[in-house]
Amino acid sequence: MAVTRLPRLQEVLIALVFIAMAVVDPDQEPTEMALVLVIGALQLAEVRLPVLETKRRAGFWILLKLVLCLALVGISGRVQSHYYLMTLMPVISAATYFGPLGTFFFSMLAASGVFSFLLSYDWSKVEIAPEDQKRFALNLLFIVITGQLVSLLAEATRAQSAKYKAVADQLSAANQQLQEAEAAVRRNERLAALGQLTAGLAHELRNPLGTIKASAEMIAKSVSAENEVAKEVAGYISSDVDRCNSLVSRFLDFARPFEARLAPADLTQVIDRAIDMARADAQSYKVAIYRNFDPAVPPFPMDVELMERVFFNLIQNAIQASQPGSSITIKTRNLGEIAETCVIDRGSGIDAKHLEAIFNPFYTTKAHGVGLGLAIVSKIVDGHGGRMAVESHPGEGSVFRILLPLRPPAANS
């Protein structure tokens, strides 16, 4: 339901002034009164209706007001009319919406319109005193100079508004960066706490798991060949222990501090190797992989092994999120001091309420997932002094962005 904005005080006062102009002379013609009220309504509507969205519309609107003002001057005495100053209103509107040249055009149009009334006189019967001629000429020049003065003020206002808008945009960008930084700090705090907990649990589990596996192997060797049930159970125990050991290793990988060994490397080659590692999964899911690499991205310091792991994980996730027959795109860009890599899929997407949580440890939407892949990826990127961002819409796909500094973190500080 649209909300109707109440009139402002200025609008009420302007309306009262136009009404007073229409009724101040009881002897004036009804046509004059109607024109005064119509011009006032147009002037008030100018700030209410979206008629000045383009310069073309603004020009037609101002021209309409000018024609009505000249008509009012024409029927109310022409050169002797008391309403000739109303031609300033369209000129002021032009100064508000156009530059100096546009304002000069409309002011000259208004002055020419008023001057044209001189042509309607029979000069053999009419004579204008020199003082009246001087006053008339000065009034026409007054229309032109008023338009230019208002245009000058409008230009200053527009320039000031542009400065305010630029500052507002900078503040908005800074606020966005601050929110992202706060989210990264919260995520790192959670990672640190959970990392310590995970490391402790993993070390405590390693010993009993080793004992269980050794016991299962001893049982398998000691039971007779006829006891197939015992051998099968021992095999189950051994395989599940191996699975638990694999999980413990992943927990330790997450908990272990990453010591990035930075050396200049080509980002394109690193991504290509990650794509080769994920090629079997892409073929299995029937997903095509497209490259869109920016040749302007120079080699920069990174830990090649860790970054291959980052890109492989993201590409693998994109493949698994995609439908058979679809495609994913890996795109790089040089953003000056930053190298941006985007992994774009057209899959199921991620619900907005889950976006911040996807980088948390042990958070997963997969049936058999552990929820450490993106947490480890985020930790590696943070260790390179970079940051991650994700854009996703359910049913439309996701874009994972990795932003890495082209100079090592120590050089940027």
pLDDT tens digits, residue range 283-308?
988 999 999 999 999 999 999 988 99
Report the C-alpha dihedral over residues 89, 92, 96, 102, rounded to 10 degrees: 110
Lowest mean pLDDT across 141-145, 294-298, 310-314? 141-145
Q: At 280, which amino acid appears?
A: A
CATH class given for the domain over 263-412 = alpha beta
Q: Using one digit for the tens of pLDDT, what is the confidence trace for 376-413?
A: 888 888 888 888 888 888 888 899 999 999 987 654 44
Both tokens of residue 118?
Answer: 């001189």
**Length of the chain counted residue by residue:** 413
Assessment of whether the complete model's pTM goes beyond 0.85: no
Partners of 345 in the β-ladder: 328, 398
* pLDDT band, very low/low/confident/very high, at 202 (cuts 50, 70, 90): low
Lowest mean pLDDT across 25-29, 193-197, 315-319? 193-197
The one-character DSSP state at 384 is T
Which backbone phi and psi does 256 adopt, to 5 degrees? -70, 135
Q: How far is residue 292's CA from residue 163's CA, in Å, rounded to a whole number? A: 37
Mean pLDDT of 80-106: 83
pLDDT for 3 beyond 50: no
Whole-angstrom CA distances from 292 to 42, 196, 271, 288 are: 55, 39, 11, 13
Q: How far is residue 14's CA from residue 44's CA, in Å, rounded to a whole number? A: 8
CATH architecture of the domain formed by 191-255: Orthogonal Bundle (1.10)
Q: How far is residue 371's CA from residue 325's CA, in Å, rounded to a whole number? A: 26
103 and 150 Cβ atoms separated by less than 8 Å: yes
For 248-298, give the DSSP string: HHHHHHHHSPP----EEE-HHHHHHHHHHHHHHHHHHHT-EEEEE--TT--
Q: Residue 250: what pLDDT?
A: 65
Domain boundaries, the chain: 9-116+130-166, 191-255, 263-412
Q: At 254, which amino acid appears?
A: F
| Count of other CB atoms within 10 angstroms of residue 359 | 23
Q: How far is residue 187's CA from residue 179's CA, in Å, rounded to a whole number? A: 12
Q: Using one digit for the tens of pLDDT, what is the confidence trace for 236-276?
A: 787 777 777 776 776 666 666 667 788 999 999 999 999 99
The one-character DSSP state at 345 is E
The one-character DSSP state at 6 is P
147 and 94 Cβ atoms separated by less than 8 Å: yes
Q: How far is residue 121's CA from residue 127's CA, in Å, rounded to a whole number? A: 9
Partners of 400 in the β-ladder: 343, 390
Which backbone phi and psi does 243 adopt, to 5 degrees? -65, -45
